[in-house]
Chains A and B, each alone.
Chain A
Amino acid sequence: MDRLNFINPFGVRYQPDMVSGDFYTKNFAKGAAENTIILNLGPQHPSTHGVLRVIVELDGEYVIRAEPVLGYLHRMHDKMGEVKTPWQFLPNMGRVDYLHPIAWNWAHVGAVEMLAGISVPERAEYLRVISCELNRISSHLVWWGAFVMDLGGVTPILYAFEEREKINDILQIVTGSRLTMSYFRFGGVCADADDRFLKLIEQFIPYLRKRLKMYKALVTDNVILRRRLENVGPMGLDICQRYGATGPILRAAGLAKDTRRDIPYGVYSKFAFPIPSGPTDDCYGRYLVRLREIETSLLIIEQAISSLPDGPIVIPKAPKPTFKLPAGESYFAVEGARGQVAVHLVSDGGKTPYRVKLRAPGFSNLSLFAEAARGTLLADAIAILGSLDLVIPEVDR
């Protein structure tokens, strides 16, 4: 096939020279051109959220070229999956994406259950939904605080962390940890919800709804934020699909695609919830989509709590840590806070899987940055980077 005339299923022609996202990798000896300077954002710059390095070439305040460089936080999670039994790989899943670990828990556990043909008790499915949605809210809250902090507003992150601590208190009851959670087990979950867990969630839902109104008055309607975000960094549906972007970025571009709806897993098909999409594909649109997703998650939690069935939380004779996978292949995708999270397992029937591939949404979403940041002001490039909601451990794995 002629690569240069390749047209993808969405009808977009592949044009390799359209964007030079790897210009400095190819021309590493090249310095700045006349009248421009090359600036390294990161790997330790706080607005890059961890150790992302972005090389930007500037003409005055304008970005001519931006190139993200990865590899400063690579921990070989894919390879570690090949030397550990599936059970021993479970704690790794909490460390791939530290803001939404339960989605990664679900992706790995789901892939193993699909391959081994393990069914999950209904109560465990509901607990999975509740914990995953609570975790999604806490992830969006941290993004919200950090994003506004990138733009210069330092106070909102303190409010966001107040809510996040409440969620952590709730999730600690069942998961035992506050950050790198490892809650799911093959065939269920590791701890049952007690009365305190359910009571705290029931108190938390109206509390967060009240706080979301405060967020709107304090930040969303703020004129400075709107002028910083409106019409900045538009990412149309075309480039989102070309780079494989998923999650709030794709939904802000107008396509209501959500794994929870498209490939329903767990008991998501039993709940009624809207998929927020649109209205605009700029930074402000992505901001609004994430805030509306918090409300969606609250709706799902409310429905799950009201119909939580009784019963066991794990199947009898659940796989032990020395459990061996049958030979075969499975791919399981879930909707994380940043997009579609997936685990691809290949097993030859041995003690450890033959190959583990983790699909991180952040990697695809970051690829959009080189294109979206070209020609913008440097301060706007930071806003675009923040609006992508990057978690570098997940991008780099």
Chain B
Amino acid sequence: MLKAIIDNIKGLYSLLVGLSITGRFLLSPRQTVHYPRKVIEPENMASYRGPLELVPGDPDPAQSRCISCQMCVRACPGHCLTVTKGASGKSPEVWLYDFTLCCLCAACVESCPTGAIRFSHKVYLVADSREALHLDLLGQLKSSAKQTS
């Protein structure tokens, strides 16, 4: 009988302890990043894998380092890459990337012999249609080179 009373008092005390903990957290600062007003710090984004992009070439940033060897196309488990060799030389003519099929596994990045592919850090990418995620990486590379020059 006495034991049951003591147990109940202890139980009620445990509820008070819990309430005091949640009360303390009520007054603690916000832990989340409130997106439109704040963005994630760049040091946290450095390792984030966003959609693929081509690495700009050394003398000419509009030119890709790609030699159209098709290693990435063969390695990709999702079949999301299309690389077509140009008429002259080894540089590619078409470099299409279907982001809807990509699982960001890095098979292409790790199999590339020239280091021509890397992950971007575009975490805020949004699209309103499936076609908008079929990316032309060679075109992106050229337009970004034009912007920087």
Binding site for B on A (CB under 8 A): 84, 87-92, 155, 159, 162, 165, 169, 172-174, 176-177, 180, 182, 185, 190-191, 196, 214, 217-219, 221-224, 226, 320-322
Whether B22 and A176, one on each chain, are in contact in the complex, defined by CB atoms closer than 8 angstroms, is: no
Whether B15 and A222, one on each chain, are in contact in the complex, defined by CB atoms closer than 8 angstroms, is: yes
CA distance A221 to B20 in the complex (A): 14
Could you show 22 A-B contacts with beta carbons less than 8 Å apart?
A: A87-B75, A88-B75, A89-B77, A90-B107, A91-B103, A91-B107, A162-B31, A169-B44, A176-B48, A177-B104, A190-B106, A196-B43, A219-B18, A221-B14, A223-B10, A223-B11, A226-B11, A320-B75, A320-B111, A321-B74, A322-B74, A322-B75
CA distance A174 to B47 in the complex (A): 7
- Annotate B1-33 by CB proximity to A: 1 below 8 A, 0 otherwise: 000000000111011011001100100000100
At the interface, is chain A mostly helix, strand, loop or mixed?
helix
For residue B119, which residues in chain A have a CB less than 8 angstroms away from its CB? 176
Whether B75 and A176, one on each chain, are in contact in the complex, defined by CB atoms closer than 8 angstroms, is: no
CA distance A322 to B76 in the complex (A): 10
Option from A162, A177, A182, A218 in Cβ contact (under 8 Å) with B21:
A218
For residue B93, which residues in chain A have a CB less than 8 angstroms away from its CB? none
For residue A322, which residues in chain B have a CB less than 8 angstroms away from its CB? 74-75, 111
Given contacts A176-B106, A182-B106, A320-B111, 19 further A-B contacts (CB under 8 A): A87-B75, A88-B75, A88-B77, A91-B77, A91-B107, A92-B77, A162-B31, A165-B31, A172-B44, A173-B47, A177-B49, A180-B103, A218-B17, A218-B22, A222-B14, A226-B11, A320-B75, A321-B111, A322-B74
Option from A172, A174, A321 in Cβ contact (under 8 Å) with B107:
A321
Closest Cβ of chain B to A83, distance in Å, is 10
Q: Given A162-B31, A321-B110, A322-B74, are A172 and B21 also a contact pair (CB < 8 Å)?
A: no
Binding site for A on B (CB under 8 A): 10-12, 14-15, 17-18, 21-22, 25, 31, 43-44, 47-49, 74-77, 103-107, 110-111, 119
CA distance A84 to B79 in the complex (A): 11
Counting chain A CB atoms within 10 Å of each CB, the highest count among B18, B22, B31, B74 belongs to B18
For residue B48, which residues in chain A have a CB less than 8 angstroms away from its CB? 172, 176
For residue B110, which residues in chain A have a CB less than 8 angstroms away from its CB? 185, 190, 321
Whether A222 and B18, one on each chain, are in contact in the complex, defined by CB atoms closer than 8 angstroms, is: yes
Option from B12, B43, B103 in Cβ contact (under 8 Å) with A223:
B12
Whether B107 and A217, one on each chain, are in contact in the complex, defined by CB atoms closer than 8 angstroms, is: no
CA distance A137 to B101 in the complex (A): 31
Q: Which 7 A-B pairs have the closest CB atoms?
A: A223-B11, A321-B75, A88-B77, A91-B105, A176-B49, A218-B21, A91-B103
CA distance A223 to B44 in the complex (A): 40
CA distance A223 to B13 in the complex (A): 9
Option from B18, B44, B47, B106 in Cβ contact (under 8 Å) with A218:
B18
For residue A190, which residues in chain B have a CB less than 8 angstroms away from its CB? 106, 110
Closest Cβ of chain A to B140, distance in Å, is 21
CA distance A32 to B75 in the complex (A): 54
Counting chain B CB atoms within 10 Å of each CB, the highest count among A155, A174, A196, A221 belongs to A221
Closest Cβ of chain B to A229, distance in Å, is 14
Whether A84 and B14, one on each chain, are in contact in the complex, defined by CB atoms closer than 8 angstroms, is: no
For residue A221, which residues in chain B have a CB less than 8 angstroms away from its CB? 14, 17
Closest Cβ of chain B to A331, distance in Å, is 24
Of all chain B residues, the one with the shortest Cβ separation from A322 is B74
Closest Cβ of chain B to A217, distance in Å, is 5
Closest Cβ of chain A to B117, distance in Å, is 13
For residue B103, which residues in chain A have a CB less than 8 angstroms away from its CB? 91, 180
Of all chain B residues, the one with the shortest Cβ separation from A161 is B31
Closest Cβ of chain B to A114, distance in Å, is 22
Of all chain B residues, the one with the shortest Cβ separation from A91 is B105
Closest Cβ of chain A to B68, distance in Å, is 17
Closest Cβ of chain B to A37, distance in Å, is 34
Whether B21 and A87, one on each chain, are in contact in the complex, defined by CB atoms closer than 8 angstroms, is: no
CA distance A180 to B106 in the complex (A): 13
